[in-house]
A and B are shown apart, each in its own frame.
Chain A
Amino acid sequence: MNTTVTIAGVTFKNPVMTASGTFGSGMEYSEFVDLNRLGAVVTKGVANVPWEGNPTPRIQETYGGMLNAIGLQNPGIDVFIERDIPFLRQFDTRIIVNVCGRSIADYVEVVERLGDQPVDMLEINVSCPNVSHGGIAFGQNPDCLFEITKEIKAKAKQPIIMKLSPNVTDIAEMARAAEAGGSDALSLINTITGMKIDIHKRTFALANKTGGLSGPAIKPVAVRMVYQAANAVKLPIIGMGGISNAEDAIEFMLAGATGVAVGAMNFVNPYATQEVAAGIEDYMRQYHIEALSEIIGGVR
């Protein structure tokens, strides 16, 4: 039984990853999860300089999901290179660094700083809904997405993954724009923009008014978009959005995802990533699957 998958020339021991922003840089969850069991750790977004993020409350629960408006708080690339990368290097897992910025120059600066670092891939966050210049504009307009992908690809030493926003009319068009710009892979979906109102205080439940919806509530939307993107482009896809268990992960793979990421469910079950990896092996045994290529994009 072979659980490995290859994305843009990078081979992962299994398809299970962490969704950016839900797992820090792995340190906190390493108390619960053996990071060696994961295909990759995808870090929280890092910018060229430290970002304070949004005011609180930044979190609200919704039916079967949650809203967050963290605002990409991060310590900046200097601290990240000094602290987070060496921590992750201790483990036998791939490192994917999520990169955020307010301008193309910001992104390029981070990408260039990471050029000589021992990281395997770069995930470009052009889809955070919670910061006014957090890249969402790049992720919602196909021309902008093409442009920023091209600029980053020209400077990147590692393969790049453009992370797509679901807050668009036509995800296939966005996938094609990223492919045309030279992206090596795609990840989707980022969170869906949402809002919650506190009827007792008669105000917004999040300080930022809107937030990104994640969790099991969004899974059908994510599966649909992964399917549409997979059918629009030749690029490998990392699928995410409400994955709780191996069954959910398999669903994404059948829809066309090569990799799968666990996000909000880390908060519900800190062991979720490891359990998804084990559950995929069980599924392979149950259906006598030798290699995951047998199921990736299995529904047409």
Chain B
Amino acid sequence: MEGKKKETGVVYRQQEIATGIFDMWIETTLAAQARAGQFISVYTQDKSMLLPRPISICEADAANGRLRIVYRVAGKGTKEFSGYRAGTRVDILGTLGNGFPSAEAVGKRAFLIGGGIGIPPMLALAKEMEGAASRDIILGYRNNELFLSEELMRYGMVHIATEDGSAGVKGNVMDAIAANEMQADVIFACGPLPMLRAVKEYAQAHDIPAYISLEERMACGVGACLGCVVKTREKNHHSHVNNARICTDGPVYLATEVELP
């Protein structure tokens, strides 16, 4: 059944695919409704941590009822998740957020840009996207631990940038775009704020739309608490002020609609 819900999933399998980066498949009915760019909120078992951790969906296997998340261990909560073995029960809330408008790529040359832990949702997007004229997948990593890059090669031309120069172009995703003289008609991006700022600037300079996925500290995840807002250019239809809720109006926005902090 479609709609947001909180339910108990079961870890199907989990492995560390790069230093501190974990790849977890969860058996859940939410798999059937998941779309690229959406996220789930994952609850810890340690109840001293109240709030669920919002984690983007990397992939959904609707047929088998499994969702895949790939996340970085960033604190106590994700540290707990990283210890889960197959069979561990895990409470999740989902599916949340609007997702990427993948149909906007039809007939167009698309860039799929992922930076660091912003790379996982690009796999879901690459799988979901149909009818694009071309797909250049530009990935930014810290070093040569190129998680998910091989899987992404099945869905388009992968270009890699690394901060330390140990693989691909030395630098960031924008350096990789410049080095390969690539062009696009539409951009989809997820990654750290400096990367998103650069993507927004690039898209404006080339007068093309860029759909960027944002993150912020969240409490409810469903649009009630107004904790996770981003400043918007126009008055938001819901808030009637220049704030949009990242958890429900987003996390994906047309770059020109939002003011990046």
Contact = CB atoms under 8 A, between A and B. Distances in A.
Interface in A205-222: 215-216
B222 A28 contact: yes
A23 B225 CA distance: 7
Main secondary structure on chain A at its contact with chain B?
loop
B186 interface: no
B55 to A, nearest CB: 15
B50 interface: yes
B219 A66 contact: yes
Interface in B218-261: 218-230, 238-243, 248, 261
A56 B261 contact: yes
B93 interface: yes
Contact of B225 (A57, A70, A79, A271): A70
A37 B76 CA distance: 36
A73 B241 contact: yes
A28 B224 contact: yes
A26 B228 CA distance: 18
Interface in B23-69: 43, 47-52
Chain B interface mostly: loop
A24 interface: yes
Q: Which range contains the number of A residues in contact with the other chain?
A: 35 or more
Interface string A114-128: 000000000000000
A116 B186 CA distance: 51
A65 interface: yes
A66 B51 contact: yes
A297 interface: no
Interface string B174-217: 00000000000000000000000000000000000000000011
Contacts of A216: 50
Interface string A55-80: 11111110111101010010110010
A284 to B, nearest CB: 27
A290 B138 CA distance: 67
B241 A50 contact: yes
Interface string A79-101: 10000000000000000000000
Interface stretch (B3-11, B12-20, B81-89): B3-11
B261 A59 contact: no
A32 interface: yes
B223 to A, nearest CB: 5
B4 A61 contact: no
A53 B216 contact: no
A68 B227 contact: yes
Given A57-B217, A73-B239, A22 B225 contact: yes
Given A29-B222, A75-B239, A53 B4 contact: no
Contact of B4 (A32, A59, A268): A32
Interface in A246-265: 264-265
A51 B239 CA distance: 9
A52 interface: yes
Size class of the contact patch on chain B = 35 or more
Contacts of B52: 267-268
Given A50-B241, A58-B217, A267 B223 contact: no
A73 B241 CA distance: 8
Residue with the greatest number of chain A CB neighbours at <10 A, chosen from B3, B50, B93, B216: B50
B162 to A, nearest CB: 24
Contacts of B224: 22-24, 28-29, 44, 266
Nearest to A51: B241
A279 interface: no
Contacts of A76: 240
Given A31-B4, A75-B240, A59 B225 contact: yes
B243 A52 contact: yes
Residue from B6, B52, B227 whose CB has the most chain A CB atoms within 10 Å:
B227
B210 to A, nearest CB: 21
Nearest to B43: A268
Contacts of B240: 50, 75-76, 79
A270 interface: yes
A2 interface: no
Given A60-B217, A75-B239, 17 more contacts: A22-B225, A24-B223, A24-B224, A29-B222, A31-B3, A32-B5, A44-B226, A52-B241, A53-B241, A56-B217, A58-B226, A58-B228, A64-B48, A73-B239, A264-B50, A267-B225, A268-B52
The 5 closest A-B pairs by CB, nearest first: A75-B240, A59-B227, A24-B224, A28-B224, A59-B217
5 contacts: A24-B224, A55-B261, A59-B51, A68-B227, A264-B50
Interface of B: 3-6, 43, 47-52, 93, 216-230, 238-243, 248, 261
Interface of A: 21-24, 28-29, 31-32, 44, 50-53, 55-61, 63-66, 68, 70, 73, 75-76, 79, 215-216, 264-271
